Structure 1
C-alpha cells in the first residue's frame, strides 16, 4: 500500500526539507520501516528504544489517532494520509 506521510517541521531534516513523502506499507509499523529505509534516522525520532511510539509523538492514519486504533498495527490503506505530529506542551 502506498501512503502519503506528512512530516512535521522538526523532522524535515531527515526528508531533505520535504513536508510530505510517500511510503509503502500495509500497517503503520511497515510505513515507519519504509520511512527509515528511505530517510535514515527518522524512526528513532518516532519510536522509543522498545520500538513503540514515543509518548510525545501523535500519529494519525487519515483522521484516526493510532493510539485508539491498533497502534503500530493500524492498517494503512492505499492512498491514506499519515500524519506525524509532535505533542506540544506549555503553560
Structure 2
C-alpha cells in the first residue's frame, strides 16, 4: 500500500496520524480514499476541483501537483507540501 504523509496542519483531521497507508492505483484514488477515511482532506487540498496553488504534491520524490493520474506502486510515498507563509 502507498504511504501518504500528512502535514502537521492537517493532522487534526487524521487523529494526529502523520502517515496513512492507502491501497490505490493512482494519486486521485488515494486522495479520494484518504478523504473517505478522514473527511475534510479534500477541502484542504482542492479549490474548485483542482489542487490549491499553495500545495505541492510529491510522489516518490518527484513534485507532481497537477497530474492526479500519476500511478502509485505498493511502496510509493506521497507527501503533501503546503506553502509556508511568513516573513
CA contact (8 A) 1:12 1:18 kept: yes
For normalisation by structure 1, the TM-score amounts to: 0.88
CA displacement 1:38-87 (0-9 Å, x = unmatched): 011111101112x11110011101101114xx611111111101001101
Q: How does 1:67-82 map to 2 (within 5 A)?
A: 67=65, 71-82=67-78
Q: Tell me the number of residue pairs that the alignment of Structure 1 and Structure 2 aligns.
A: 87
Moved over 6 A (4+): none
The aligned residue for residue 12 of structure 2 is 13
The aligned residue for residue 21 of structure 2 is 22
- Tell me how large the CA RMSD over aligned residues is: 1.3
Gaps of 5+ in 2: none
Gaps of 5+ in 1: none
For normalisation by structure 2, the TM-score amounts to: 0.91
